[in-house]
Amino acid sequence: MRVTVDVKGEDTYEFDLEALEEGAGTVDRSGCATDASSPDGDESDAGGAMPTYADLLRKIDLSPHEVSVVVDGRPVPEDQPVETDHVTVLRLITGG
């Protein structure tokens, strides 16, 4: 399943959940494949487990501590498996 992650006021990303399960690549908003390995070498989303909302955040270099994940207008826990095709991400603090 493809999941669209809309970071409000910023970018929109698309991910293939099956690719995330296998630890493979993502697809950015232009449709180009990208490397899915995280910068710190974390492989927590590999191994066949259902990707969580935290896994999606990790792929776009956001921390669950700085954003809220919203599905159908309601916040969802980051440790829940992704079960929808559209996710909205709201930054809690922006600017400086």
Confidence of residue 19 (pLDDT cuts 50, 70, 90): confident
CA distance 34 to 85: 19
In the prediction, which pLDDT does 11 show?
A: 95
In the prediction, which pLDDT does 7 show?
A: 96
Sheet with 2-7, side-by-side order of all strands:
33-34, 26-27, 12-16, 2-7, 86-91, 67-71, 74-75
Count of H-run helices and E-run strands, the chain: 2, 7
In the prediction, which pLDDT does 18 show?
A: 87
In the prediction, which pLDDT does 77 show?
A: 96
The fold for domain 2-91 equals Ubiquitin-like (UB roll) (3.10.20)
In the prediction, which pLDDT does 48 show?
A: 59
In the prediction, which pLDDT does 42 show?
A: 46
Residues 22-74 pLDDT 10s = 764 444 444 444 444 444 444 444 455 789 999 999 999 999 999 999 999 99
